[in-house]
Amino acid sequence: MTNAEKAQGMLGIVREVHEGGQAIIGPSWAVYDEMAALAGASDVDGMVKYFLAYKRTARGVHMRRRMEVFGKKTLESAERQFMAIARSE
């Protein structure tokens, strides 16, 4: 799998989280926008670093809690799938 293919797959996971929680997140989400930019550059390592860093921020923790309260998919619940794509050959 090429880095471009990996990046698009990883972006798809972030898109699922965003679309599933759009009523909570709102129409625009900086995480999705940043991930889309990194995916456009096929920067898989940058996407992984951003993913891991965001979920540890106060905003990331707050968003995870809100999404969980409403039973929505979170970045954390999608992490295994996201990382499997990043590590695939």
Say what the pLDDT of residue 4 is: 96
The tens-digit pLDDT sequence of the chain (89 residues) is 899 999 999 999 999 998 888 888 877 788 999 999 999 999 999 999 999 999 899 989 998 999 999 999 999 999 999 999 999 98
Report, in angstroms and rounded to the nearest whole number, the Rg of the chain calculated over CA atoms.
Answer: 12
- Please tell me the pTM assigned to this model: 0.90
Q: What is the dihedral of CA 18, 22, 25, 26, to 10 degrees?
A: 120
Say what the pLDDT of residue 22 is: 83
Angle in degrees, CA 13, 19, 25, rounded to 5: 110
